[in-house]
Structure 1
Amino acid sequence: MTEVANKKTLFPHKLLSLFMLMLWLLITNSISPGQWILGAILAWGIPYLTQSFWPQSMVLSSPLLATRFVGLVLWDIIIANMQVALLILGPRQKLQPAFMKVPLELKQDFTITLLANTISLTPGTVTVDLQMDEGYLLVHGLHVTDIEAAIAGIKSRYEAPLKEIFECSTR
């Protein structure tokens, strides 16, 4: 590790801290001064105390794209829930489960983790394995009629925006 990586900063992940504070206020369903203070302490303290576990700092190069990405993922979760419900509860049809090797263009561990979690959050798909040496994610789909199209969908809907949001500045 370099000397810069070992140096602790007072506010290591400002956006994460802001997100954590807002999440705390939503979870507690209160905007009382006490909740603001407790939320601020947690939102600062957790990233501060865990910063040595983060191999690289999280740089958000496009906040607007990040907001659109979160909206897209939430929309995909809603649609996938309905699709899975129809597959499971609907007329009897044969499911076509499949394993897919999704080649990775992402380089940072944090961004790869976000991609793997995004895939697993979407009902009907789950990230099974990561092969860093070979550069792919192994993904299982509940009903996949076209493996190449499914891989292309994951890469265009999730991987490309994540690369632009978090890895654009590392090129």
Structure 2
Amino acid sequence: MTRPAETRQRIISAVLRIVGDDGIAGVTNRRIAQEAGVSLGSVTYHFATQQDLLRESLRYFVTEETKRFGELAKENSTECADLTQVVELVGQVAEATGTDSERIAPYELYLHAGRDPELRAAAAECFAAYDRLAATVLTSIGVKDADQVAGAVVGMVMGLKLRALATGSGTEDLVDGLMLLAKGSTTTTTE
């Protein structure tokens, strides 16, 4: 017998795959139930509205990503004492995330948040989590005013990752862009 938390998780994972494959328009309760291997009633039991489902799917994705990146930052904090190592690590992480449907899904959800005030609050929470993580990493390499720089770094990473997803290119642009931004941030702190 599947526990409610497991069912809920299967539903969220199915939504992320569907959104990544076919966009928000592809999300129907029947398709979610089929993809998740649950009853149609389970979908509506766990999520009263599609907005609840989309909001929780986005939050889940970012919570998992933030946790994963946070652990990675902790593991490498002593090994990545210099800027080049940190930027290379970010490039490796970006490359490892790939272009599968679950990686495309958050971008679809962020765009949808621009049209949907209910989802906008979840998107704001997600970006705040990314900003906190970026500020932590930037502080560890000595960037002055890391909290102020974090949003720009997150924006650059997100934009360049979107570019890579859309064009099929690698992460070279991301690594180069981060290096330029980070060098500029650390240069101003030593003057």
Q: Choose between structure 1 and 2: higher helix proportion.
A: 2
Q: Choose between structure 1 and 2: higher strand proportion.
A: 1
Tell me, yes or no, whether TM beats 0.5.
no
TM-score (norm 2): 0.27
TM-score (norm 1): 0.29
Pick the structure with greater CA Rg.
1
